[in-house]
Amino acid sequence: MDFRWSADDDAFRTEVRRFIDDTLPAGWDEMNLDEAEEFQFAGPIQKKLAANKWRIMHWPQEYGGLGFSLWRQLIFSEEFTYRRMPGSADAGAHPVAALLMHSGTPAQRSRFMGPIARAEIKFCLLFTEPAAGSDLASLQTRAVKDGDDYVINGQKVFNTGAHLADWGLLAARTDQEVPKHKGISLFIVNMKAPGVTVRPLINLTGAHAQNEVFLDDVRVPRDSIIGEENQGWYQLASSLSTERSGVTGINRFALCKRLLDDLAGFARTTSMNGQNVGKRPEVRSRLAEAAIATELGRFILYRAVGMNDNGLDSTRLNSASKIFGGELAQRLANTGVSMMGLYGQLRRGTKHAPLQGTIERMYRETVYFTIGLGTSEVNRNVIAQRGLGLPR
């Protein structure tokens, strides 16, 4: 098996790296922006990506994209994630657009696809509820027909970027009488509509990136529904599977590679208690194990991309990539904080924080990695059922 990239792929990777070098300001790693500030910083970057059609490189050409394969999208995600580039993941450019291409009406595509491609509008995802996260099919937000509208009531939670979004992709129950998986529909909701209230949730990093959203008698026209009524669960299952792989968002293995490289550099150049950190046997062992796991995880992701590109069902490998990458990132952050001793607790912006406090931040930030897009337990069930054929 030949693991080398083609000459065209190598050229594209070089182009992406040049774009990053030209876009990131000098001293980016020392700017100490929190998640909320990075959201704002990402706006101009999204515009530049739109100009290159890189926000939509994997869209078919008929929708204005470049028709690139997921391999090109993978190269892009590897480079952007490794350099900690803000603005690489966007809810509107990926799951929303994918749903519109697959199930949207011509009018919906005409209204939203162009503005998404040009980074003129932002979408958020309105799925999770206080009592419906891992078991999303238990959601209780209701959408009831009333003349030419649906009237929506309910509460959503942990909605990333909802305070900055123009529109939301919302999952709501449209039939109370059928089994829970069969009574869900997807809607496009104007986040400025009467009855929509967005309240901030401050996360473990101390930033306002997530929110809770309340919907009180929010009226949306009937043509806001995506696809057929009561088919939302099946649409979501397909969309979330691709997102879990990490190809269209944060590439967890590129993130782990960056963490590993940073920690290895710290270990080589730092002495604590009169001894070089890199000579401590437990540090060498844990970093070596992480290096092996990072390469292994990368090939799991590559296999998932290869299956997807060949029209095969990659659901189980997408979940495997999500579990393996998320848990590995947590272990690496834990290793980093441990090897730095008490200094590992210092936050970004603190005078003596090693690596500008990046590892301490990742220690808190990676908690989400085993929860968002389905907990590790949910994804293990997916692997058991879809990959091993085990019963529910």
Are 162 and 224 members of one domain? yes
Going by C-beta distance under 8 Å and a sequence separation of 6 or more, which residues neighbour residue 192?
Answer: 166
Residue 75, pLDDT score? 95
**Domain coverage including residue 129:** 123-229
Residue 131 has pLDDT above 80, yes or no: yes
Q: Is residue 246 in a domain? A: no
CA distance 334 to 127: 30
317 or 62: which carries more pLDDT confidence?
317
Are 262 and 365 members of one domain? yes
- Single out the residue in 229, 264, 283 at which a domain terminates: 229
Residue 243, pLDDT score? 77
Are 61 and 139 members of one domain? no
Are 130 and 165 members of one domain? yes
Residue 90, pLDDT score? 64
Q: Average model confidence (pLDDT) for the chain?
A: 89
pLDDT single digits (tens) 317-368: 999 999 999 999 999 999 999 999 999 999 887 888 999 888 998 999 899 8
Residue 32, pLDDT score? 67
Q: What's the CATH code of the domain at 141?
A: 2.40.110.10
Q: Is residue 298 in a domain? A: yes
Q: What's the CATH code of the domain at 383?
A: 1.20.140.10
Tokens representing residue 318 in the block: 């997408």
List 243, 282, 295, 365, catalytic entry: 243
Are 102 and 127 members of one domain? no
Residue 299 has pLDDT above 70, yes or no: yes
Distance of CA 71 to the CA centre of its chain: 17
Q: Is residue 354 in a domain? A: yes
pTM of the complete model: 0.89
Is 37 an annotated catalytic residue? no
pLDDT single digits (tens) 19-40: 999 988 877 767 767 666 777 7
Residue 18 has pLDDT above 80, yes or no: yes
pLDDT single digits (tens) 212-240: 999 999 999 999 999 999 999 888 877 77
pLDDT tier at 303, thresholds 50, 70, 90: very high
70 or 29: which carries more pLDDT confidence?
70
293 or 31: which carries more pLDDT confidence?
293
Q: What's the CATH code of the domain at 51?
A: 1.10.540.10
Q: Is residue 242 in a domain? A: no
Are 141 and 112 members of one domain? no
Is residue 191 within 8 A of residue 124, CB to CB? The reply is yes
One-letter-per-residue 3-state SS of the chain: CCCCCCHHHHHHHHHHHHHHHHHCCCCHHHCCCCHHHHHHHHHHHHHHHHHHCCCCCCCCHHHCCCCCCHHHHHHHHHHHHHCCCCCCCCCHHHHHHHHHHHHCCHHHHHHHHHHHHCCCCCEEEECCECCECCCHHHCCCEEEEECCEEEEEEEEECCCCCCCCCEEEEEEECCCCCCHHHCEEEEEEECCCCCEEEEEEECCCCCEEEEEEEEEEEEEEHHHEECCCCCHHHHHHHHHHHHHHCCCCCCHHHHHHHHHHHHHHHHHHCEECCEEHHHCHHHHHHHHHHHHHHHHHHHHHHHHHHHHHCCCCCHHHHHHHHHHHHHHHHHHHHHHHHHCHHHHHCCCCCCCCHHHHHHHHHHHHHHHHHCCCCCHHHHHHHHHHHHCCCCC
Residue 85 has pLDDT above 90, yes or no: no
Are 333 and 302 members of one domain? yes
Is residue 163 within 8 A of residue 189, CB to CB? The reply is no
Are 111 and 207 members of one domain? no
Are 136 and 110 members of one domain? no
Going by C-beta distance under 8 Å and a sequence separation of 6 or more, which residues neighbour residue 373?
Answer: 240, 243, 244, 322
Are 80 and 127 members of one domain? no
Q: Is residue 241 in a domain? A: no
Roughly what angle, to the nearest 10 degrees, separates helices 315-339 and 252-269?
20
CA distance 142 to 46: 34
Are 153 and 190 members of one domain? yes
Provide mean pLDDT across the span 253-265: 95
Are 140 and 78 members of one domain? no
Q: Is residue 178 in a domain? A: yes
Which of 82-91, 185-194, 219-228, 242-251 shows the lowest mean pLDDT across its residues? 82-91
Tokens representing residue 153 in the block: 């009531």
pLDDT tier at 13, thresholds 50, 70, 90: very high
Residue 1, pLDDT score? 59
Count up the domains in the chain and report the number: 3
Share of residues in the chain with pLDDT > 70 (%): 96
- Signed CA dihedral, 76, 77, 82, 88: sign only: positive
Residue 97 has pLDDT above 70, yes or no: yes
- Single out the residue in 117, 139, 162 at which a domain terminates: 117
Q: Is residue 238 in a domain? A: no
Neighbours of 86 (CB within 10 A): 21
Q: Is residue 392 in a domain? A: no
- Single out the residue in 117, 138, 167 at which a domain terminates: 117
Provide mean pLDDT across the span 46-68: 87
Residue 88 has pLDDT above 60, yes or no: no
List, in sequence order, every residue forming a beta bridge with 211; answer none if it has no partner.
200
Neighbours of 225 (CB within 10 A): 24
pLDDT tier at 92, thresholds 50, 70, 90: low
CA distance 348 to 325: 24
